[in-house]
Amino acid sequence: MDQSKLMPVIPRTPLGRPNFRFEIRPYDFSCVAGLYEAADESRKSVSPWMAWLHGDYSLQDAENWTVHAIYAWKAQTEYEFVIYDREDGKVTGSCGLNRMNAKDKVCNLGYWVRTSKTRLGAATQAASLLKEFGFGPLGLNRLEIVVAEGNHASRGVAKKAGAVYEGIQRNRLCVDERIYNAHMYALIKPATD
């Protein structure tokens, strides 16, 4: 059975909270230039952990990913968002829920933040909004945050987002042919009575 057909149809709307500096918005073509700018600025800090930010990453790559994100949402297989700073309107990074397992109601939660906006709470706020979205409209039970050994910033975000540490998974991630052990964190949907 096609797993994607088990996910609910979700409208593409921005997510935020009044007290949050950052909001997340589903990808659209207005984000492409800002997304490229954020990625280009962050090559040194993001590329060791994410293979998509390779040395030849271009504006066309940002546009291609945007097309992918829009169609994946329509296909109900991924829910990708752009992180925006409400103070200056800048693209701050990206986050999303992907690798959906609709049968078991589990998925991956991922994020990255541009270098000039790190340590401001963007990833933590984005993860919090994704958690609400995943446990609410999507009806998921478990959100996994998989962090390569050595990626201390991402581990910090997982902890601040309230994820529980579940241990090391050996040879879990491959980035540009480099294999990493990974720390597994999980957010679990609160039990309802």
Give the H or E element holding residue 92: strand 91-101
Is it the case that residue 1 has pLDDT exceeding 50? Answer: no
Opening angle at CA 42, ends 98 and 151, nearest 5: 60
**pLDDT attached to residue 65:** 97
**What is the longest distance spanned by two Cα atoms in the chain?**
52
**Quick check: 2 pLDDT over 70?**
no
Give the model's pLDDT for residue 4. 44
Name the band, by pLDDT with cuts 50, 70 and 90, for residue 6. Answer: low
**Mean pLDDT (the chain, rounded):** 92
Q: What pLDDT score was predicted for residue 48? A: 86
Q: What is the mean pLDDT of residues 47-75?
A: 94
Judged on CB neighbours under 10 Å (0-12, 13-18, 19+), 172 is middle
Q: What is the pLDDT of residues 17-42, one digit of tens each?
A: 999 999 999 999 999 999 999 999 99
pLDDT tens digits for range 102-151: 899 999 999 999 999 999 999 999 999 999 999 999 999 999 999 999 89
Mean per-residue pLDDT, 50-78: 94
Work out the number of other CB atoms within 10 angstroms of the CB of residue 59. 14
> How far is the C-alpha of 143 from the C-alpha of 72, rounded, in Å?
18
Instruction: Report the CATH number of the 16-188 domain.
Output: 3.40.630.30
| HEC per residue, 131-161 | HHHHHCCCCCCEEEEEEECCCHHHHHHHHHC
High-pLDDT (> 70) share of the chain, %: 96
More confident call, 192 vs 144: 144
